Amino acid sequence: MNQTISSTSDKAASILEGEDIILKVRDLHTYFYTDIGVARALNGVNFDIPRGKVMGMVGESGCGKSVTALSIMRMVTKPGRIVQGDIALFRKKKGGENDKSQIIEEINLTKLEGMGPVMRSIRGAEMSMIFQEPMTSLNPSYTIGDQIMEAILLHQGVDKVEAEKRAINILDGVGMANPALVVKRYPHELSGGMRQRAMISLALSCTPSILFADEPTTALDVTTEAQILDLMRDLQGRINMTIIFITHNLGVVAQMCDYVTVMYLGRVVEQATVDDTFYNPKHPYTSSLLRSIPHVGSRQKERLMPIRGVVPDPYSAIKGCPFHPRCSQVMRGKCDAQVPGLTVVGKSHTVRCFLYSDTVEEASNVR
């Protein structure tokens, strides 16, 4: 049914050594065709997501983090669409999550209908997303209970009474006060923080193997944030859940993640273990991001260094490395002429930067 991508268009084999890969994204381009021009939100995204691990995804506003998650979930809608690239999902036999030899199926998600039955069942049972904006996923016309119970009834083979019990349990687990009452409420009857918790419950109700958490705790107070992060980590350990954690909070990345993917202007510029990202960053953009946030234990008078300039808009194409206009280590005649290709700089550590090699990105033939 699906063309496999692991052997055919594998531009960059997995560099995450010793990891069992659950998602492989290659050369992903997603564009928005708007009245004012084409917004090239993703310009050839390549990365791997290891099974049962937490991948942090960072980068300034507008770099394409949410669009990457929405593209993989096949939820990009008009005027946007995936114009090129492959997304391979490696599914395992039920109950075989811990057995590395049990890969039974590779599905290329870009070949499926976004709203078709296969993709819908993948979204309901295997992949789910905590959205940046709660009302994106909550339906205003149904009660919170009905929405959470829908996934449970569909995929867990239990009756309504048991489904409601489970829905209340999930709400309780995310720190919702009075969960038995909240199941009867509609989204507009809840506060912003309660809606966020309801949405997190909805995303967790199908116990997904892959969870995209897009700024899942930004609207919450620090105590609830800590509870939700604990819950996610607990689930990750218990059901071997894979989490793609999108956040601006590098403190949370350090606390939650095994690996980090750094995005800039619709591309991945660096991917590494969390330790290498913090202690041995290679890309000047990663180093700048780290310098722009406060460190735990840093001297009080240490000045934070904002990254000079702003992320360019995605409507204008930049020649060369997309970061070169803002880079303090730019090499004229090189960085402004060609796009750097992927360079392996260490164990499970890749970077796209001419400081480390002259490898040039292969040109994509976007339709």
Ligand X SMILES: Nc1ncnc2c1ncn2[C@@H]1O[C@H](COP(=O)(O)OP(=O)(O)OP(=O)(O)O)[C@@H](O)[C@H]1O
Q: Which residues 50-79 are close enough to bind ligand X by CB under 6 A? A: 59, 61-67
Alpha-carbon gap, residue 45 to 86, rounded angstroms: 10
Alpha-carbon gap, residue 233 to 227, rounded angstroms: 10
Minimal distance, residue 41 CB to ligand X, in Å:
3
Q: Which residues 284-343 are close enough to bind ligand X by CB under 6 A? A: 314
Give residue 31's identity as a one-letter amino acid code: Y
Q: Which residues 17-36 are close enough to bind ligand X by CB under 6 A? A: 32, 34
Pattern 160-199, binding to Mg ion, x per CB under 5 A?
A: ----------------------------------------
Minimal distance, residue 248 CB to Mg ion, in Å:
9
The C-alpha R_g of the chain, in whole angstroms, comes to 21
Binding residue count for Mg ion, defined by CB under 5 A: 2
Binding residue count for ligand X, defined by CB under 6 A: 15
Q: Residue 106: how many CB atoms within 10 A of its CB?
A: 16
Alpha-carbon gap, residue 244 to 78, rounded angstroms: 24
Residue 176 near which of Mg ion, ligand X, none (CB within 5-8 Å, type-dependent)? none
Nearest in space to 93 (alpha carbons), one of 83, 84, 105 = 105
- Let me know the angle formed at the C-alpha of 255 by 348 and 301, rounded to the nearest 5 degrees: 105
Residue 300 near which of ligand X, Mg ion, none (CB within 5-8 Å, type-dependent)? none
User: Among residues 43, 46, 66, 147, which is the contact residue for Mg ion, using CB under 5 A?
Assistant: 66
Classified as helix, coil or strand, 150 is helix
Do 206 and 150 contact (CB within 8 A), yes or no?
Answer: no
Return the number of the residue (40 or 92) whose C-beta is nearest ligand X: 40
| Residues forming the site for ligand X (CB under 6 A) | 32, 34, 39, 41, 59, 61-67, 80, 132, 314
| Residues forming the site for Mg ion (CB under 5 A) | 66, 132
